[in-house]
Amino acid sequence: MTIETAVVQQSEAKRWATVAVVMGCGIGAALQVGKVPIAASMLQQSLGIDLAAVGTVAGIFAVLGLIGSVPAGVVIAAVGARRVLLCGLAAIALGAASGALAPSLAVLLVSRLLEGLGFLLVMVAAPALLDRVVDVSARDVTMAVWSCVMPFGIALALVAGPIFDGWRAIWWASAAFVALLFVLAGVIVPEVASQTGPARTGLMQEAAALARRRTPALLMVLFALYSLMFFALFSFLPILLTERLGVSSQSAGGLSALAAAGNVLGNLAAGNLLARGVSRIVLIAVAAFVMGASALGIFLPLLGGWGAFWLCLLFSATGGLIPATLLATAPAAAGSAAMVPVMMGLLMTGSNFGQVTAPIAVGAVVSAWGWGAACIMVVAAAILAGLAAWVLARGDHKRVGEASDPA
């Protein structure tokens, strides 16, 4: 083996070690989302709260993301993705630990805001790091794998949650896991080039111009609608399955995790289909239609409990086509390498909109009118997603779809 070959292999090993750790950081962040659904009944009993309040615990997590995702992207472009990633992991660990000690619902909600800030920073910084680390030819597949971290992290929380005695133990475990990721990221993840000097002064103007463009705005809207549909179901799926199937909380957690894992299949399938040249618009439109149709059988008493569960699997797996497609499209839609973090911030703004509104709205309407009321919201979001995909198809999606690398 020549010295040059050894150096190349070492460089490749470092690259994929970085990718693995960054993916792990995404899973650790997503775990903070999934721990609330599995702990819902524990929270109700321990704090004496109703389902609407549990929805607030879940939804408030993403409030900062509604206003902070794009500014976070600008900060990343200016100071570097690695620093922001580490700050995000630290905020999650501190927030989870604070939540484990929370004496009341109010303190728990404040700790969830801190967790949400960390989640926001990680989920915007990580894909920006991946975009710089991997080759352009591997971007679609890498972003498809990255889109798996959310369902995988949620599934991990749903599987592991019932192992613990109470919700506080779940919070402590999640804090310890993220603290370990902080150490790994600090050792393994390198810093990538960031904007310096005078170039930083124009970042906010560039970000504002990007947000006003048709394609980035539509991608953000589509992510918002997908997130709304996904979290309308998964924020309360363990409780729904317990009521519909009459199973234990542990069994409901395992079934919910299986449904969440189905989303991973859709994410990976999207990467493969995009690599084969399948239209991004077709993938989004088909997935939105199937999610909306499946919601009818999930929330309405049209089928038995197991029939509804199989539709949950279909809903999740097909829905996974959407985030993977949007994340793969984002770097080209950004227009320049410096704006990739900002474009990711726009997508996170959409994602956080769904994370905030879906749990709170579903918790409220289900408490008032039953599970059937949640169906209306999901079907409406599916119809709007189909319309947004149609508008995108009539715009400049061809330029985005054909672009191979930000300028």
* pLDDT, greater one: 130 or 205: 130
Tens digit of each residue's pLDDT (9 = 90 or more) over 158-191: 888 888 888 899 999 999 999 999 999 999 888 7
Mean pLDDT of 220-225: 92
Mean pLDDT of 366-386: 86
Average pLDDT taken over every residue of the chain = 81
Question: Is residue 92 over pLDDT 90?
Answer: yes
Is 0.75 topped by the overall pTM? Answer: no
Instruction: Note the pLDDT of residue 147.
Output: 77
> Of 12, 122, 14, 15, which is closest to residue 64 (Cα–Cα)?
122
Tens digit of each residue's pLDDT (9 = 90 or more) over 298-313: 888 777 778 888 999 9
Instruction: Note the pLDDT of residue 275.
Output: 80
Instruction: Note the pLDDT of residue 375.
Output: 86
Return d(Cα 153, Cα 144) in angstroms, integer. 15
Instruction: Note the pLDDT of residue 105.
Output: 87
Question: Is residue 127 over pLDDT 70?
Answer: yes
Tens digit of each residue's pLDDT (9 = 90 or more) over 22-72: 999 999 999 998 888 888 778 888 888 777 787 778 777 777 777 777 777
Q: How confident is the model at residue 404 (pLDDT cuts 50, 70, 90)?
A: very low
Question: Is residue 396 over pLDDT 70?
Answer: no
Question: Is residue 9 over pLDDT 80?
Answer: no
Provide CB contacts within 8 A for 49, sequence distance 6+.
Answer: 43, 105
Tens digit of each residue's pLDDT (9 = 90 or more) over 293-346: 999 988 887 777 788 889 999 999 999 899 888 888 877 777 766 677 778 778
Q: Three-class SS of residue 138?
A: helix
Provide CB contacts within 8 A for 339, sequence distance 6+.
Answer: 77, 206, 207, 210, 406
Cα–Cα distances (Å) from 198 to 48, 78, 167, 195, 376, in that order, read: 54, 11, 48, 9, 50
Return d(Cα 301, Cα 80) in angstroms, integer. 50
Give yes or no for a contact between 64 and 113, defined as CB atoms under 8 angstroms apart. yes
